[in-house]
Chain A
Amino acid sequence: MIKRLAIGLLVVALFALTLGCAERPELTTGPSEFADALRSARGKTVTFYGWGGSSAVNNWFDNVVAPSLLAEYGITLRRVPMNIDEILRKLATEKQTNRVSGDIDVIWINGENFYAAKTQELLYGPFNTRIDNFNRLIDPQAADTNYDFGVPVDGMSVPLGRAQLIFMADRARLATFPASAAQLLEIARANPGRFTYPAPPDFTGSAFVRNIIYEIVGFEALNNAPIEKAAIQAVIQPALDFLNELEPYLWERGTTYPADVAALDRMFAEGQLLWSMSYTPLKAAQLIAEGRVPTSVETFVFDKGNIGNTHYVAIPFNAPNKDAAFVLIHHLISVSMQAAKLDVANWGDLPVLDLSRLDPSERAILENTNIGRGALPMDELLRRRLPEVQARKVAIIEELWREQVLQR
Chain B
Amino acid sequence: MRHKYTPYLLVAPLLIFLTLTFVYALAYGVIQSLHAGSGALGGSITLQHYRTVLSDREFLVSLGATISVAVIATLISNVLGGLLALIMLRAGTHGKFLQRVLQLPIILPHLIVVIMVIQLFSQTGFIARLVWWLGLIDNPNQFPLLVYDRLAIGILLVYLYKQVPFVAMLAYDTLRGISGKYAEVATNLGASSWQTSTQVYLPLLKPTIIGTSLITFAFAFGAFEVPFLLGTPVWRTLPVESYLLYTNIDPLARTHAMVINVLISAISLTIAGLYFGVESFIKRQQKGGGV
Q: Which residues of A contact B (CB under 8 A)?
A: 112, 193-194, 199, 201, 251-252, 255-259, 263, 266-267, 270-272, 391-392, 394-395, 402, 406-407
Q: Once the chains bind, are B234 and A255 in contact (CB under 8 Å)?
A: yes
B140: interface (CB < 8 Å) = yes
Could you list 23 examples of A-B contacts with CB < 8 Å? Answer: A193-B141, A194-B141, A201-B244, A251-B141, A252-B145, A256-B148, A256-B150, A256-B232, A256-B234, A257-B232, A259-B148, A263-B148, A267-B123, A270-B124, A271-B140, A272-B123, A272-B141, A392-B249, A392-B250, A394-B249, A395-B250, A406-B233, A407-B234
Q: Once the chains bind, are B140 and A270 in contact (CB under 8 Å)?
A: yes
B231: interface (CB < 8 Å) = yes
- B225-237 vs A, CB cutoff 8 Å, 1 = contact: the mask equals 0001001111000
- B201-242 vs A, CB cutoff 8 Å, 1 = contact: the mask equals 000000000000000000000000000100111100000000
Q: Once the chains bind, are A391 and B233 in contact (CB under 8 Å)?
A: no
- Residues of the A chain whose Cβ atoms lie less than 8 Å from the Cβ of B139: 272
Complex Cα distance, B254 from A395, in Å, reads 13
- B243-257 vs A, CB cutoff 8 Å, 1 = contact: the mask equals 010011110010000
The answer to whether A255 and B150 touch (CB under 8 A), given A201-B244, A270-B140, is: yes
The answer to whether A259 and B233 touch (CB under 8 A), given A270-B124, A272-B124, A392-B249, is: yes
Q: Once the chains bind, are A256 and B145 in contact (CB under 8 Å)?
A: yes
- Residues of the A chain whose Cβ atoms lie less than 8 Å from the Cβ of B253: 395
Complex Cα distance, B124 from A379, in Å, reads 37
Complex Cα distance, B247 from A130, in Å, reads 36
Which B119-153 residues sit within 8 Å CB-CB of chain A?
Answer: 123-124, 139-141, 145, 148-150
- Residues of the B chain whose Cβ atoms lie less than 8 Å from the Cβ of A258: 148
- Residues of the B chain whose Cβ atoms lie less than 8 Å from the Cβ of A251: 141
Q: Once the chains bind, are B141 and A201 in contact (CB under 8 Å)?
A: no
Minimum CB–CB distance for A26 against chain B, Å: 28
Picked from B123, B231, B248, the residue with its CB within 8 Å of the CB of A259 is: B231
Q: Once the chains bind, are A257 and B233 in contact (CB under 8 Å)?
A: yes
Q: Once the chains bind, are B249 and A112 in contact (CB under 8 Å)?
A: yes
Minimum CB–CB distance for B147 against chain A, Å: 9
Q: Which residues of B contact A (CB under 8 A)?
A: 58, 123-124, 139-141, 145, 148-150, 228, 231-234, 244, 247-250, 253
- Residues of the B chain whose Cβ atoms lie less than 8 Å from the Cβ of A267: 123-124
Counting from the closest, the 9 A-B pairs by CB-CB distance are A199-B233, A270-B124, A193-B141, A256-B232, A272-B140, A391-B249, A259-B233, A395-B249, A257-B233
Minimum CB–CB distance for A87 against chain B, Å: 17
- Residues of the A chain whose Cβ atoms lie less than 8 Å from the Cβ of B228: 259
B253 nearest in chain A by CB position: A395
New contact pairs (7) apart from A259-B228, A259-B231, CB-CB < 8 Å: A194-B141, A255-B150, A256-B150, A258-B148, A392-B249, A395-B249, A406-B233
B250 nearest in chain A by CB position: A395
Minimum CB–CB distance for A309 against chain B, Å: 14
- Residues of the A chain whose Cβ atoms lie less than 8 Å from the Cβ of B58: 402
Interface centre among B139, B141, B228, B244 (most CB of A within 10 A): B141
Minimum CB–CB distance for A275 against chain B, Å: 15
Minimum CB–CB distance for A37 against chain B, Å: 36
- Residues of the B chain whose Cβ atoms lie less than 8 Å from the Cβ of A256: 145, 148-150, 232-234
Complex Cα distance, B148 from A252, in Å, reads 11
B61 nearest in chain A by CB position: A407
- Residues of the A chain whose Cβ atoms lie less than 8 Å from the Cβ of B248: 201, 395
Interface centre among B58, B233, B253 (most CB of A within 10 A): B233
- Residues of the A chain whose Cβ atoms lie less than 8 Å from the Cβ of B247: 201
A257 nearest in chain B by CB position: B233
Minimum CB–CB distance for B113 against chain A, Å: 18
Interface centre among B123, B140, B231 (most CB of A within 10 A): B140
Complex Cα distance, B124 from A221, in Å, reads 41
A392 nearest in chain B by CB position: B249
Minimum CB–CB distance for A91 against chain B, Å: 16
Minimum CB–CB distance for A93 against chain B, Å: 12
Complex Cα distance, B141 from A407, in Å, reads 22
Interface centre among A112, A194, A256, A271 (most CB of B within 10 A): A256
Minimum CB–CB distance for B231 against chain A, Å: 7
Minimum CB–CB distance for A168 against chain B, Å: 18
Complex Cα distance, B248 from A394, in Å, reads 10
Complex Cα distance, B229 from A266, in Å, reads 13
Interface centre among B139, B149, B150, B249 (most CB of A within 10 A): B249
Complex Cα distance, B245 from A402, in Å, reads 14
B233 nearest in chain A by CB position: A199
Complex Cα distance, B228 from A229, in Å, reads 27
A198 nearest in chain B by CB position: B233
Complex Cα distance, B167 from A369, in Å, reads 60
B235 nearest in chain A by CB position: A407
